[in-house]
Structure 1
Amino acid sequence: MNSQHFKSLLKEIASQQIFVIDASISKSDYTPIDLSKTNTDLDAFNISSSRDWTIYITNYLKKRNKKVAFGGYLETRGIYNRSDYFNNQNLETERNIHLGLDLWIDAGTSVLAAFSGEIHSFKDNTNFGDYGPTIILKHKQNGFVFYTLYGHLSRASLANLTVGVKVTQGETIAYLGKADVNGDYAPHLHFQIIKDLQAHFGDYPGVCSKQDLEFYKVNTFSPELILKL
């Protein structure tokens, strides 16, 4: 499946209403958020602190009278500098470009399957600044296979999972985790759409370097278009 066919397929699927978190929350209660290096508001608090991030997100939503803050696809961020897992002094190879959509909302919020499919894999990615508990679903539509990744979940979300089990679109597959299990972030869902999983299992890069960006632009797809945000 080439990139154009992949995008056409997803746009066709997106003609229906799709949610990846609690469907009782209206899309009108979502608001965009900029977490790029250009946002000077981030200079006002300690971006290495998950507690300070939680306060920032909470106040951001309260000020706008919204419930969910979203954004981040192909956004260049400074937050990853706090972790040796991402940090590199070489500007070409430093991983700081975000490849998924983040949906910032309280821990315990239900996470829903974007499309019908099956559990491909799951894993607790415990590196500092990583996904924490993660689930990857495999989907087949019109003969095409692709994948969706759900990161920063609760640890309990991985209990009793079985690879190959079928899931239906909109089914609750997990719940969001707290900072002590989700890689040390304010609670949120990292949602990513992937064309070729490249033999990964329970994990896939959610952040890339400048030198790898062109590949990931083709191998991932903006979730905002699917969710109509």
Structure 2
Amino acid sequence: MQRVVPFDPSSDKLIRLDFTSKNTELTDEIVNDTTLFSAYIDHKIQSHTYGIGGYDEHRTVYSRSKVFDTGEEPRRLHLGVDIWGKAGTPVYAPLEATVHSFAFNDQYGDYGATIILSHGTFYTLYGHLSLKDLDGLYEGKPIKTGERIAHFGEPAENGHWPPHLHFQLINEMGNHRGDYPGVCKFSEREKYLQNCPDPDSILQMIQYV
């Protein structure tokens, strides 16, 4: 199985990043300013290859966008793994696939450029990509194991986040195309985690933190 991002456990270093209320360093001022937020991430990972984490994490950072407001209970529980690094970092298909769908989810706080691959019995979602990576795609396009499919996007094209990849496994897509919730209400945690298992089963990276 191909690595989703270039990572050599013998030489590369990972740091786990925490975006819950326990992280008191991450103030509202930082979270609500993409430039400050990006500088914060850069500082945290400066002596590492990537920052990583976030699966089943109840995050306070989603208060930065109305995309996550859903009435009385906002969406705050993260359903994927985030890999934080430099814009332009390549992204590879870990397994043979076809393109299920893709979209430019261009709202503040959303995925930005997004690709979803079908692997027959499950799907993988790649969010916060470079917009140019959507060029030439079509639904049903065959993708080889290890094929470069995308790159980490800049904030202007990735939903206005510091550069990173949101990687998510999905068992059933339902009617979703080019999009699928990457964050859910805590009250719906069990339902969504059942449909979105831990992406590290494919990434195999958390063990190196």
Question: TM-score band (shorter)?
Answer: over 0.9
- 2:33 aligns to what? 49
Aligned length: 203
Q: Distance in 1 between matches of 2:129 and 2:119?
A: 20
Identity %: 39
Write the distance in 2 (CA, Å) between the matches of 1:94 and 1:45. Answer: 20
Q: Which residue of 2 aligns with 1:113?
A: 93
CA distance in 2, matches of 1:174, 1:208: 25
Cα deviation, residue 29, structure 1 = 2.0
33-42 or 98-107: bigger deviation:
33-42
SS of the residue 1:189 aligns to: strand
Q: Secondary structure at the match of 1:41?
A: coil
- Alignment of 1:38 with 2:14, yes or no, is no
Matched residue of 1:157: which SS? helix
- CA distance in structure 2 between the partners assigned to 1:45 and 1:169 by the alignment: 41
Rg: which structure is higher? 1
Q: Alpha-carbon deviation of 1:44?
A: 7.8
2:54 pairs with 1:78: no
Which structure 1 segments of 5+ residues have no match?
A: 1-15
Partners in 2 of 1:211 and 1:78 — Cα distance?
Answer: 16
In the alignment, which residue of structure 1 is the partner of 2:69?
A: 87
Q: How much does 1:89 deviate?
A: 5.9
In 2: Cα distance, 1:45 partner to 1:61 partner: 20
Deviations 1:182-215 (A, max 9, x none): 1110000000000001121000000000121110
Question: Where does 1:150-161 land on structure 2 (aligned, <5 Å)?
Answer: 150-161=126-137
What secondary structure, in the 3-state scheme, does the structure 1 residue paired with 2:156 have?
Answer: coil
Root-mean-square deviation (CA), in Å? 1.4
Partner of 1:133: 113
TM-score (norm 1): 0.84
2:155 to 179, 182, 187: 179
Could you tell me which residue of structure 2 aligns to residue 165 of structure 1? 141
Q: How big is each residue's C-alpha offset from its partner over 1:92-117, in whole Å with a ceiling of 9 and x where there is no partner?
A: x3101110000001111111112111
TM-score, length-scaled by structure 2: 0.92
Aligned match of 1:102? 82
TM superposition outliers: structure 1 runs of 4+ over 3 Å? none
Structure 2: give runs of 5+ residues left out of the alignment: none
Counterpart of 1:26 in structure 2: which amino acid?
A: D
